């Protein structure tokens, strides 16, 4: 009996923003592509798009393999994989109908594996999702021409649409972010399905896709990430989110040291962008004074909102909110009481990063921000899961550097560089 593999993905440019999904069904033994699906689904979030990609993949398997078909599901969405495997609860009301729909399709199949895979191993589905979004942005439909496998009961799926963290106080290093797998037996020999696949370019398909943000270029966009200087809250290792703490005297000295470094070669800043919070804006102002540049403010570069925990030490939070703290440390979807989850912060930070890279293509941009947004941008460049936030440490007034190419992956060139503070 033929066994199948679903690889699915979804994305949103803005989160929420113009979104799309992609899914591919393969023969588990030969790796041959049996079906593809992609669609632009209007304005929604990454998680909704990822669930829609899974649903499209499950439907495609039913069309190709029929009821009871054995299938392994692989996605780079930790949230969808863990929720569908039953290890995480579906907490967001907007995702419950989609999880229920996917569950109904799963019951008609035999899912042997729910596996999280890194984004670089999910490039086929990611490309399909980006192609669908690109086509919709041009008012076109995504189309595919794939010859169905011998013996399959229907054509491959062709779907189209014409419309378009950690805190400022501590670094937790106890949580893993590795691949999670529930495995059935997919190694037994299976009958190979002969398939002829022909992919042809059409007005609705791009053959030159780079990052999915814009046409390919070999000009790097450099994003320098500067954490703000010391405040009284960071000195005392207290949760410091949206509270507007000012820099201490030492924090001002750290900002001045960073400014002196950034005003010399090899740095040639074109743009300075800052979080709206006072500690970041004062750090950015020190650089602006040395470079003669103005400071733009991007609200999405603000620190995460720690709600009721603002101003408290980790120990105080652990004593007063033990259950909530445990949940927050275990699940990126969990938020402090009255605050913001890492998953929610990831949406706006991703949007900020994409705006900066697109708006200032080929330039050197300094973004002055906080621990959570900087870690988010670094982990996105590394295609790492949200849990990787707990595996990074950023010092006060440190510098990190990401370079972006539209025709290649983002490259992290430096991380937590504090050489300017050692003089």
Q: What is the mean pLDDT of residues 108-128?
A: 93
Tens-place pLDDT, residues 178-208: 333 333 322 222 222 222 223 223 323 333 3
What pLDDT score was predicted for residue 408?
A: 63
The structure's pTM equals: 0.53
Catalytic, out of 39, 113, 165, 303: 303
Residue 362, pLDDT above cutoff 80: yes
Q: What is the mean pLDDT of residues 333-358?
A: 92
Q: What percent of the chain has pLDDT over 90?
A: 62
Weakest-pLDDT range from 25-29, 73-77, 192-196? 192-196
Q: DSSP character for 250?
A: H
Active site annotation includes 303: yes
Polymer length in residues for the chain: 423
Q: What is the mean pLDDT of residues 115-123?
A: 93
Confidence of residue 212 (pLDDT cuts 50, 70, 90): very low
Listed ranges 81-95, 231-245, 249-263; the one with the highest mean pLDDT = 249-263
Confidence of residue 1 (pLDDT cuts 50, 70, 90): low
Catalytic, out of 141, 165, 228, 370: 228
What pLDDT score was predicted for residue 202?
A: 30
Q: DSSP character for 264?
A: S
C-alpha–C-alpha distance, residues 63 and 151, integer Å: 12
Residue 309, pLDDT above cutoff 60: yes
* Mean pLDDT, all residues of the chain: 82
Tens-place pLDDT, residues 128-170: 999 999 888 887 878 764 444 433 333 343 433 322 233 343 4
Q: What is the mean pLDDT of residues 301-316?
A: 94
What pLDDT score was predicted for residue 215?
A: 43
Task: Region of 88 please: left (phi>0), alpha (psi -120 to 50) or beta.
Answer: beta
Residue 91, pLDDT above cutoff 50: yes
What pLDDT score was predicted for residue 44?
A: 87
What pLDDT score was predicted for residue 273?
A: 98
Confidence of residue 310 (pLDDT cuts 50, 70, 90): very high
What pLDDT score was predicted for residue 275?
A: 96
What pLDDT score was predicted for residue 136?
A: 83
Active site annotation includes 312: no
Q: What is the mean pLDDT of residues 396-412?
A: 87
User: Who has greater pLDDT, 154 or 46?
Assistant: 46
What pLDDT score was predicted for residue 188?
A: 28
For the CA atoms of 29, 32, 35, 41, what is the dihedral angle to 10 degrees? Answer: 100
Residues 6+ apart with CB under 8 A from 296: 271, 272, 273, 274
What pLDDT score was predicted for residue 185?
A: 29
Confidence of residue 270 (pLDDT cuts 50, 70, 90): very high
E strand or H helix that includes residue 372:
helix 371-381
Residues 6+ apart with CB under 8 A from 56: 8, 21, 23, 37, 38, 39, 157, 159
Q: What percent of the chain has pLDDT over 70?
A: 81
């Amino acid at each position: 009996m033929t066994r199948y593999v679903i690889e699915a993905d979804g994305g949103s440019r803005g989160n929420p923003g113009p979104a799309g999904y992609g899914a591919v069904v393969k023969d588990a033994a030969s790796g041959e592509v049996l079906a593809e699906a992609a669609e632009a689904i209007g304005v929604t979030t990454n998680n909704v798009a990822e669930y829609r990609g899974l649903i499209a993949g499950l439907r495609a398997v039913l069309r190709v393999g029929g009821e009871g078909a054995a299938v392994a599901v692989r996605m780079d969405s930790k949230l969808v994989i863990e929720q569908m495997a039953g290890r995480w609860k579906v907490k967001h009301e907007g995702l419950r109908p989609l999880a229920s729909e996917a569950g109904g399709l799963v019951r008609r199949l035999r899912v042997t594996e729910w596996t999280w895979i890194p984004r670089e191993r999910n490039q086929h589905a990611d490309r399909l999702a980006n192609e669908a979004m690109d086509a919709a942005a041009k008012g076109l439909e995504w189309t595919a021409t794939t010859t169905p496998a011998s013996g399959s009961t229907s054509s491959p799926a062709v779907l189209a649409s014409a419309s378009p963290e950690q805190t400022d106080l501590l670094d937790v290093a106890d949580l893993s972010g590795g691949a999670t797998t529930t495995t059935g037996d997919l190694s037994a020999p299976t009958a190979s399905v002969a398939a002829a696949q022909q992919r042809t370019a059409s007005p609705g398909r791009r053959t030159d896709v780079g990052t999915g943000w814009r046409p390919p270029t070999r000009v790097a966009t450099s994003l320098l990430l500067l954490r703000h200087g010391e405040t009284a809250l960071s000195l005392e290792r207290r949760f410091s989110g949206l509270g507007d703490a000012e820099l201490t005297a030492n924090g001002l000295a750290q900002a001045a040291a960073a400014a002196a470094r950034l005003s010399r070669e090899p740095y040639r800043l074109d743009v300075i962008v800052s979080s709206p919070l006072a500690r970041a804006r004062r750090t950015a102002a020190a650089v602006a004074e040395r470079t003669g540049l103005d400071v733009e403010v991007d609200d999405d570069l603000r620190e995460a909102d720690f709600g009721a925990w603002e101003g408290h030490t980790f120990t105080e939070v652990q004593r007063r909110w033990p259950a909530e703290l445990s949940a927050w440390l275990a699940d990126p979807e969990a938020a402090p009481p009255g605050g913001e989850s890492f998953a929610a912060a990831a949406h706006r930070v991703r949007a900020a990063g994409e705006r900066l890279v697109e708006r200032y293509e080929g330039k050197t941009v300094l973004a002055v921000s906080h621990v959570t947004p900087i870690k988010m941008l670094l982990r996105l460049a590394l295609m790492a899961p949200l849990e990787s936030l707990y595996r990074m440490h950023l010092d006060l007034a440190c510098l990190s550097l990401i370079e972006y190419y539209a025709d290649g992956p983002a490259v992290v060139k430096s991380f937590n560089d504090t050489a300017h503070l050692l003089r």
